[in-house]
Chain A
Amino acid sequence: MTTLIWIAVVLLAIAGYLLWTAERLDRLHTRLDAARAALDAQLLRRASVAQELATSSLLDPAASIVLYQAAQAARQAEEEHREVAESELSQALRAVFSESAQVEAVQQAPGGEAAVGELVAAVRRVPMARRFHNDAVRAARALRRHRKVRWFRLAGHAPFPLAFEMDDEFPAALADRVA
Chain B
Amino acid sequence: MRIGIVCPYSWDVPGGVQFHIRDLAEHLIRVGHEVSVLAPADDETPLPAYAISAGRAIPVPYNGSVARLNFGFLSAARVRRWLHEGDFDVIHIHEPTSPSLGLLACWAAQGPIVATFHTSNPRSRAMIAAYPILQAALEKISARIAVSEYARRTLVEHLGGDAVVIPNGVDVDFFARAEPKAEWCGGAPEAGKGGSTIGFIGRIDEPRKGLPVLMRALPQILAARPLTRLLVAGRGDEEEAVADLPAAMRSRVEFLGMVSDEDKARLLRSVDLYVAPNTGGESFGIILVEAMSAGAPVLASDLDAFAQVLDQGEAGELFRNEDADALASAALRLLADPQRRAALRDRGARHVRRFDWSTVGADILAVYETVTAGATSVATDERSTPRFWFGLGRE
Contact = CB atoms under 8 A, between A and B. Distances in A.
A91 B135 CA distance: 37
A20 to B, nearest CB: 7
Interface stretch (A2-10, A96-104, A138-146): A138-146
B244 interface: no
Contacts of B160: 138, 142
Interface in B265-298: none
Contacts of B353: 178
Contacts of B370: 38, 42, 125, 128-129, 132
B362 A179 contact: yes
Interface string A12-35: 000010001001100110010011
A132 B143 contact: yes
Nearest to B139: A139
Given A23-B383, A135-B161, A34 B139 contact: no
A90 interface: no
Nearest to B365: A179
B233 interface: no
Interface residues of A, number: 31
Contacts of A37: 373-374
B366 interface: yes
Contacts of A142: 135, 160
A132 B362 contact: no
Contact of A179 (B112, B135, B366, B375): B366
Nearest to A125: B366
Nearest to B163: A131
B80 interface: no
Interface string A120-142: 01001101110110111011001
Contacts of A11: none
B338 to A, nearest CB: 28
Contacts of A134: 161-162
A134 B374 CA distance: 18
B371 A132 contact: yes
B314 interface: no
Interface string B106-132: 000010100000000000000000000
B164 A131 contact: yes
A131 B145 CA distance: 10
B329 interface: no
A41 interface: yes
Contacts of B135: 142
Contacts of B362: 178-179
B136 interface: yes
A34 B377 CA distance: 13
Contacts of A35: 142
B130 to A, nearest CB: 16
B17 to A, nearest CB: 22
A20 B136 CA distance: 10
B220 interface: no
Contacts of B163: 131, 135
Interface string B130-153: 000001100110111000000000
B367 interface: yes
Contacts of A23: 383
Nearest to A34: B375
Contact of B161 (A27, A38, A139, A179): A139
Given A23-B383, A24-B136, A132-B142, A138 B373 contact: no
A129 B371 CA distance: 8
Nearest to B144: A135
Given A128-B367, A132-B371, A178-B353, 12 more contacts: A23-B383, A24-B136, A27-B110, A27-B139, A31-B142, A38-B370, A38-B373, A142-B160, A143-B139, A176-B354, A178-B358, A179-B363
25 contacts: A16-B389, A20-B383, A27-B110, A27-B140, A34-B371, A34-B374, A37-B374, A38-B370, A38-B371, A41-B373, A121-B366, A124-B366, A128-B366, A131-B164, A135-B143, A135-B161, A135-B162, A138-B160, A139-B139, A142-B135, A142-B160, A178-B353, A178-B358, A178-B359, A178-B362
Closest 9 CB pairs of A and B: A135-B161, A139-B139, A131-B162, A138-B161, A132-B143, A135-B162, A34-B375, A178-B359, A38-B370
